[in-house]
Chain A
Amino acid sequence: MELNQSLIIIVFVTAIALFIWSCYRRFRLVLLGRPENRFKDTGKRIRDVLYYAFGQRCTVSHGYFFGLNHLVLFWSFMILLIANTEFMLHGLFPYVSLSRLPPGVYHALLFLFDVASVLALLAICIAIIRRLAFPPSYIEAQSRDAFIILGLIAFLMVAFFGLHASEIANSGEEARYMPVSNFAASVFFSHIPVDNLSGYINAFWWIHAIVLLSFLNYLPYSKHMHILAAIPNLFFRSLTKVNTQKREDFKKGNTFGVGQIDQFTWKDLFDSYSCTECGRCSDNCPATNTGKLLNPRLVIHDIKVNVLKNGHLIDKKKEAILPLIGGGREGSIADQVLWACTTCGACMEVCPVFIEHVPKIVDMRRNMVEMNARVPDELLALFENFEQRSNPWGIIPAERIKWAAQADVKPFEVGMTEYLFFTGCFGAFDARSRKVTVAISRILNAAGISWGILGKDELCCGDSLRRLGNEFVFDRMVRENIKLFNEKGIKKIITMCPHCYNTLKNDYRQYGMELEVIHHTALVNDLIKAGKLKLNSAKYSGNVIFHDSCYLGRYNEIYEAPREVIASVTGQRPSEMEHCFDRSFCCGAGGGRMWMEESEGKRINVARVEEAMKKEPGMICVCCPYCMTMFEDGLKGMKADNRVLVLDIAEIVANVLI
């Protein structure tokens, strides 16, 4: 091989230095973010990386055929990483070579490289055909960026075969351990005079080198930055379910929420670098799917663009040129995008690199609410109501007790009562939900549980406030509630609403309040299993479907309990909608959306009810007052409310109590 060694060294060193510099320039910006410890429990983190990254768990699962393509590409890449590292080292230091290994090992490696290259080439072709023939719903799949990267990889593979085929032809011996290259040698190079072959080898070597170095240097500037960032991001993922938000410290001089990228944590910024723009989040987002401006993938993309536009300025303590919130151009997120989120968590559930979308959206809402008091009009009255009367409608607290007239209820007594039944604002005030509250009270009495209520002293748990970004008022509410719980010695709480459940269970823990919180579906299921409820079952023969509430299912992984209850009562498990379990489709009311207008696009609850109606149900079972409201409204809109019953799990049980 006659190659000019000093030219190789100059080219390689320059290209690698450029790559390192690019990476440094970009990844350094991540450190602008606020500190956050993502290193605890390293062992588990490493295991997770092996499972999720090397096992490609998230890309392959859930019926994504093209995930399989990604798996092939990923593993080909891993194998070729060895080949290309050797290629570069060998270029720089000719004595470093895999050929120094025993021939058996060396040939086995060459075989692997050969096969991996052809698989990679195949995967690339499938990816290109997919983008041209039946493109994914999002536009970026067909971007120039995508085709440049795919083209570069394809080109690299072709150069690999060119190089090895010409070398094989030049050696004059068959190389059965490289079947593809060997075949290429016999087809393309067998007629070329031996004297000319070294020219081909030289040319392919340089093509291979230049394509490889170009690819390397293009990476940090393209969406394929994920090739560098995704695996570390898996390592840094949240080891617990992302079902709460960070607390804020309400001290003078602090800023609240995120209005500029350096107010995010470093992990938030790293998330944006890891995004592959695969579009799974937007495919599953109820807002995106009903024509809202919100698209979780674009939110993450805009954060990344903003980091790249403003990062260097902020780093030099200069003023940012592109506002993070406001919208109007790439890299800036419009207010209405942030308000459209139902915090259902579908995006986070499907993200293959564990990006945490919802906390970022809530953080930005906090900035709008807390720093700028810039909120949609309908929220002004809502916030006042919460502050003054601790409920969303501003109804006088004395009315919290009204439902009790229809039930056998006792107040919670210090040291006497075991369980507090926390009815929540809906359970106490909303006419429809009160029926569920009464049903639960009947079940509790039938099972002989020691329970009581706080009546007019009960306060809102604060869920909507927290998700809407009004952390200041949420913080005050939590303190009041905790004071009340401590005074009364309350340790065990039954909730009827999944939002109260999640808030009391997961949010209050941040205040050192470890409560045993039970959602009524789980409790009722336990009671049935323990034989504490006598049911006159099999009364219902129609088709029953169950709607998973986001805050019970995805947020707290309670999927089976409600289904088992339905099975106990009706004798059959419910039929499943297209979106169910962890892929459930939000009713549209979470994240404070219950209290906001929905004028953009199609109504989320209508979309969900339409999906439900495909199953021709006689009854839709829910376990959340928000879902109840949204389903009943949706059915009314379709004039189907006389045909289809919407009942809470507690109601179907209470109806058949003996």
Chain B
Amino acid sequence: MLVVTCIKQVPDTTQVKVDPITGTLIREGVPFIINPFDTYALEESLRLKEKYGFHVAVISMGPPNTEVTLRKALSLGADEVILLSDRAFGGADTLATSMVLAEAIKKLGQKEEVAIVICGRQTIDGDTAQVGPGIATRLGYSQLTLVDRIENVDLKAKKIRVRRRLEGRHEIVETTLPAMIAVLREINRPRYPKVPMRLFAQDAPVTLWNNKVMGLREDTIGLKGSATQVRKIFSPQRERGEIIGDGSKNPQVAARLLIDRLKEKNLLSL
């Protein structure tokens, strides 16, 4: 039985700035990291492996340098990593991305039965939280989003029970396998890689599936297969703050000033 984890390599967004003239992201010199939410998905799949004996396959769609991120997954204990990389996959929105990922999962399923697909709740660069549900929809799997705990997996009855974290309440939900779950960062604490595993991962095989292997129709993938397009990226205008008083010399006066200002703007209900 297979657990498939979908991860994405993203630019470290805290270091990304928008070019005000071209309206695109300045990516030069910005390090790439594994999407933080996906680290929880990967960790959860490794825990499922330890608890239930699943195999863990990790897939990622992205440019060739995504290999680095996949090797990190190997160093943490993934059994198999697959890089979905082809110029034809580029420029994809969530529709086209979930298309490729879903097809890859189907292909994996031909070798070994897929029980669970795990995704992070969203990426930090796109922030849509649509790819997981998109994959589930295309594969016809049950989808469980906002999962903060896997309660139980019953392999005989082919059932999974999870806890979903909603606004102010929890939900325990059970569904049949195969299922897609999208996890929250509260679900676990990702492990740290052991050095022997890192050394192993340095030259372990990373399987490449391009579109020759996948054989998908060009109009369903990449830019052409995307239903949405980003037209412009820009940083929102922010009003400059103002400095009031001198807190380091006279904190009492500064505090008074601050309270008065806040009252003026109706921000304090005093």
In the complex, are the beta carbons of B196 and A375 less than 8 A apart?
A: no
With A and B bound together, what is the CA distance between A250 and B198 in angstroms?
Answer: 10
Question: Does A335 touch B at the CB level, under 8 Å?
Answer: no
- With A250-B199, A252-B200, A380-B189 known as contacts, the answer to whether A371 contacts B194 (CB < 8 A) is yes
A526 within 8 A of B: no
B-chain residues with CB within 8 Å of residue A250 when the two chains form the complex: 195, 199
Known: A251-B199, A252-B199, A252-B200. A398 touches B192 (CB 8 A): no
Q: How far is the CB of B24 from chain A (nearest CB, A)?
A: 19
A21 to chain B, nearest CB (A): 40
Those of B24-82 within 8 Å (CB) of chain A: 31, 33
A residues near B195, Cβ cutoff 8 Å: 250, 256, 370-371, 472
Q: A251-B199, A252-B200, A472-B198 are in contact. Are A388 and B12 (CB under 8 A)?
A: yes
Contact with B along A357-376 (1 / 0, CB 8 A): 00000000000011111010
> Which residues of chain A are near B196, meaning CB under 8 Å?
252, 255-256, 371
Q: Which residues of A contact B190 (CB under 8 A)?
A: 380
A583 to B246, CA, bound (A): 44
Q: How far is the CA of A377 from the CA of B31 in the complex (A)?
A: 25
Q: How far is the CB of A12 from chain B (nearest CB, A)?
A: 54
Q: Is A414 an interface residue (CB 8 A)?
A: no
Judged by a CB distance under 8 angstroms, whether A77 is at the interface is: no
For the complex formed, measure the closest distance between the CB of A75 and the CB atoms of chain B, giving whole angstroms.
50
Which residues from 11 to 33 on chain B have a C-beta closer than 8 Å to any C-beta of chain A? 12, 14-15, 31, 33
| Distance between Cα atoms of A396 and B17 in the complex (Å) | 12
Residues of B within 8 A of A370 (CB): 194-195
B193 within 8 A of A: yes
In this complex, how many residues of chain A approach chain B with their Cβ under 8 Å: the count is 20
Is residue A581 within 8 Å, beta carbon to beta carbon, of the partner chain?
Answer: no
Contact pattern, A 484-523, Cβ under 8 Å of B = 1, otherwise 0: 0000000000000000000000000000000000000000
Determine the distance from Cα of A352 to Cα of B195 in the docked complex, in whole angstroms. 37
Q: How far is the CB of A395 from chain B (nearest CB, A)?
A: 9
Return the CB mask of A251-265 against B: 1 if under 8 Å, else 0. Answer: 110011000000000
Interfacial chain B residues near A383, Cβ < 8 Å = 192
Chain A: minimal CB distance from B41 (Å): 16
Chain A CB within 8 A of B138 CB: no
B residues less than 8 Å from A373 (CB atoms) = 191-194
Q: Which residues of B, 64-114, contact A by the 8 Å Cβ criterion? A: none
Give the shortest distance, in Å, between A472 (CB) and chain B (any CB). 5
Chain A, residues 376-395, CB within 8 Å of chain B (1/0): the string is 01001001000011000000
Closest to B193 in A: A373
Taking CB atoms, residues of chain B closer than 8 Å to A472 are 195, 198
Residues of B within 8 Å of A396, CB to CB, are 12, 14-15
Task: Give the A-B pair count, Cβ closer than 8 A.
Answer: 37
User: How far, in Å, is A466 (CB) from chain B's closest CB?
Assistant: 14
What is the minimal beta-carbon distance from A458 to any residue of chain B, in angstroms? 15
Q: How far is the CA of A377 from the CA of B14 in the complex (A)?
A: 23
How would residues 439 to 481 of chain A score, 1 for a CB under 8 Å from any chain B CB and 0 otherwise?
A: 0000000000000000000000000000000001000000000
| Binary per-residue interface labels of chain B (179-202) against chain A in the complex, 1 for a CB within 8 Å, 0 otherwise | 000000000011111111011100
Task: Among B12, B14, B193, B195, find the residue whose CB has the most chain A CB atoms closer than 10 A.
Answer: B195
Q: Which of A258-314 contact B (CB under 8 A)?
A: none
Q: Which of B15, B189, B199, B200 is within 8 Å of A377, CB to CB?
A: B189
- Min CB distance B192 to A, Å, is 4
Q: Which residues of B contact A388 (CB under 8 A)?
A: 12, 31, 33
Report how far A370 CA is from B14 CA in the complex, Å.
29
List A389-410 residues whose CB lies under 8 Å from chain B.
389, 396-398
Chain A residue numbers with a CB within 8 Å of B31 are: 388-389
Determine the distance from Cα of A648 to Cα of B135 in the docked complex, in whole angstroms.
Answer: 58
Contacts of A251 in B (CB 8 A): 199
- Shortest A259–chain B CB gap in Å is 12
- Nearest Cβ on chain A to B31's Cβ, whole angstroms: 7
A250: nearest chain-B partner, CB-CB: B199
Q: How far is the CB of B68 from chain A (nearest CB, A)?
A: 12
Q: A375 to chain B: which residues have CB within 8 Å?
A: 192
Residues of A within 8 A of B191 (CB): 373
Which B residues are CB-close (under 8 A) to A398?
Answer: 15
Closest to B199 in A: A252
Residue of B12, B33, B194, B198 contacting most chain A CB atoms (<10 Å): B194
A436 to B228 alpha-carbon distance, docked (Å): 52
The answer to whether A380 touches B192, judged by C-beta atoms less than 8 angstroms apart, is: yes
Residues of A with C-beta under 8 A to B200: 252
Report A181 CB to chain B, min CB distance, Å: 66
B199 to chain A, nearest CB (A): 5
- Nearest A residue (CB) for B190: A380
Q: How far is the CB of A431 from chain B (nearest CB, A)?
A: 13
A371–B198 CA distance with the chains assembled, in angstroms: 11
Chain A residues whose C-beta falls within 8 Å of the C-beta of B33 in the assembled complex: 388
Docked Cα-Cα span, A377 to B189, in Å, equals: 8
Cα distance A388–B15 when bound, in Å? 12
- For A377, give the chain B residue with the smallest CB separation: B189
Q: How far is the CA of A469 from the CA of B33 in the complex (A)?
A: 24
Q: How far is the CA of A380 from the CA of B191 in the complex (A)?
A: 8
* Closest-CB distance, A533 to chain B (whole angstroms): 29
Chain B residue contacts of A397, Cβ below 8 A: 15
Residue of B nearest to A369 (CB): B192
CB distance from A374 to the nearest CB of B (A): 9
Report A41 CB to chain B, min CB distance, Å.
34
A373 to B33, CA, bound (A): 20
Q: How far is the CA of A322 from the CA of B77 in the complex (A)?
A: 28
What CA separation (Å) do A389 and B191 show in the bound complex? 19
The answer for the CA separation of A397 and B196 in the assembled complex, in Å, is: 29
User: Are B14 and A372 in touch, CB under 8 angstroms?
Assistant: no
A136–chain B nearest beta-carbon distance, Å: 41
What are some 8 contacts across the A-B interface (CB < 8 A)?
A: A255-B196, A373-B194, A380-B189, A380-B192, A388-B31, A389-B31, A396-B15, A472-B195
Known: A250-B199, A256-B196, A372-B194. 11 other contacts (CB 8 A): A255-B196, A256-B195, A370-B194, A370-B195, A377-B189, A383-B192, A388-B31, A388-B33, A389-B31, A396-B12, A396-B14
Interface residues in chain A, defined as those with a beta carbon under 8 Å from any beta carbon in chain B: 250-252, 255-256, 369-373, 375, 377, 380, 383, 388-389, 396-398, 472
A-B complex: 10 closest residue pairs judged by Cβ atoms: A370-B195, A373-B192, A472-B195, A373-B194, A252-B199, A396-B15, A256-B195, A380-B192, A373-B191, A396-B14
